[in-house]
Amino acid sequence: MNGKEKIKIESKKLAMINKLVELDFYGSVDDFIDHVIDYNLEIFEEDLEGFTFERNWQIVEKLVEIGHFSSSKELLNEGIDEILSKYDDDLEEFFDIERSEEGKESSHISIGVISIGKGTVRRWQKKGQKKRIIAIGSLSISPNVPPHLLRETIVSVKVIGRFRATDEQKAVIDIIKKE
């Protein structure tokens, strides 16, 4: 990746990426990150139609700009998790792998700030995942996340702290909380 912004990758994820490089799945960590960006390009291809990118990092910037992700960090972390999950079988002898099965409920817990963008929710929907959101600090839902996607992908929400969302999104979250 030739962008100027540095990415901080969680140490376990970085160890897993380095193991994939060591096992010759990728030539370098940069190659892996480029794969993550290309993967997002494929998912959001129709939204990026008509744009020309000279370098991969511009794809990340455009997806954040059009609101699919709240930040480049969110896009990359979601993408890294997605790509790493495809190598679970190859990595399980080296790492303790938590598997999130399709159609299963799982928790999304954060202490601090959690931002949920359209891209994240679309991935949950694509995988048939249902999330229990627990945020201690701040939860922010990007305004471009359609309320119906929240209804399809979130089964419970608990926020201790600040909650930011559109009125329509808050109405859906209120319904979910009452169920």
Query: Is the model's pTM score more than 0.85?
Result: no
pLDDT at 4: 39
The per-residue pLDDT for 1 is 41
List the chain residues with pLDDT less than 50. Answer: 1-5
What pLDDT shows up at residue 154? 92
pLDDT at position 148 is: 93
167 by Cβ neighbours in 10 Å (0-12 / 13-18 / 19+) ranks as exposed
For residue 170, what pLDDT is reported? 93
